[in-house]
Amino acid sequence: MSAETTIPTLLTVKQFAEKHPWPSQAGLRWLIFNSGSNGFSRCIVRCGRRVLVNEGEFFAWIDGQNPSMTAAQ
Q: Specify the pLDDT at position 32.
A: 98
C-alpha 68/C-alpha 32 separation (Å) is 25
C-alpha 42/C-alpha 36 separation (Å) is 10
Between residues 5 and 19, the one the model is more confident about: 19
Report whether pLDDT(21) > 90: yes
Helix spans in the chain (H): 13-19, 25-33, 35-38, 55-65, 67-72
Q: Specify the pLDDT at position 19.
A: 97
Report pLDDT digits (tens) over 30-72: 999 999 999 999 999 999 999 999 999 999 999 999 877 655 5
Strand 50-54 vs strand 10-12: parallel, antiparallel, or unpaired?
Answer: antiparallel
Domain positions in the chain are 10-65
Q: Specify the pLDDT at position 5.
A: 82
